[in-house]
Structure 1
Amino acid sequence: MDEFNPFRDDPEFTDFGMIGQETSPGGAVFDAFPVFMLVFAVLFMAAVGFIIFVGVRNYNASRRAGFDPFTLQTELATRAANSRMLAPQQNREQRLAELSDLLARQVITREEYDKARLKILTE
């Protein structure tokens, strides 16, 4: 280091132990960088493997349930939209009129009509 020092012949110049070329500027951080990169690479590959594992399991489960895995979300949304749970509620008068229509068309018996009518009226 002295060969590059312009003040080496100056008697008033004191060397206070400046850092030389033999030490790295980042110290231990740069020395441990390859280890950090290796740990990151291993964790990243484990995460990718886990994502693939979960995707394959979901694909197989939806196939076993009879769904197309690529349209599963749309199929379920369509089923939910068409379900009775999301259908608008009929009022009591509409339900009684529908029940009377079923009796008139002889789709249900008089006994079934009476039971259903009583259930509608007591709700």
Structure 2
Amino acid sequence: MDPLAPPPEFSAVFGLVTTVVILGIIGVIVVAIVNAKKAADLGHNPLTMQTELQAKVLDSQALAAERSVEERLAELERLRAAGLIDDAEYEQTRARILGSL
């Protein structure tokens, strides 16, 4: 037996690792194709969708400059009316907003 030759188990492990890597690459390609098709079906360009999403977030009020006290109080009232916050949360947040004047 040649002392420089790899052990027989090496071929099996190498073949298994190669198969897993190839299946992983195929899986990534399939997912990318399915996502691109879905985006196209919904009327979006899959190549520019990330940029469009980032522009919408930047243009939204989520990152807008500080809102006025009136706007913040109106939003707080809307949350309470919708039942998303209770009276204690409303009072605590209202006090904090008015305390920032």
TM-score band, normalised by shorter chain: 0.5 to 0.7
Unaligned residue ranges in structure 1 (runs of 5+): 1-22, 96-118
> Which residue is equivalent to 1:67?
44
What's the offset of the Cα at 1:71? 0.8
Whole-Å Cα distance in 1 between the matches of residues 9 and 32 of structure 2?
35
Percent pairwise identity: 21
- Aligned counterparts, 1:102-121, within 5 A: 119=74
> Which residue is equivalent to 1:57?
34
What's the offset of the Cα at 1:82? 0.5
Unaligned residue ranges in structure 2 (runs of 5+): 78-93, 95-101
* More relative contact order, 1 or 2 (CA 8 Å, 6+ apart): 2
CA distances 1:51-105 after superposition (whole Å, capped 9, x unpaired): 1111011101211222110011110000000012211133247x6xxxxxxxxxx
Instruction: Indicate whether 1:33 and 2:6 are aligned.
Output: no
Whole-Å Cα distance in 2 between the matches of residues 84 and 63 of structure 1?
27
Instruction: Give TM-score, length-normalised by structure 1.
Output: 0.50
Structure 2 SS opposite 1:53: helix
Instruction: Give TM-score, length-normalised by structure 2.
Output: 0.59
What's the offset of the Cα at 1:25? 2.9
Whole-Å Cα distance in 2 between the matches of residues 44 and 92 of structure 1?
56
| Higher CA-based Rg | 1
Provide the alpha-carbon RMSD of the alignment.
2.7
Instruction: Indicate whether 1:87 and 2:64 are aligned.
Output: yes
Whole-Å Cα distance in 1 between the matches of residues 10 and 65 of structure 2?
62
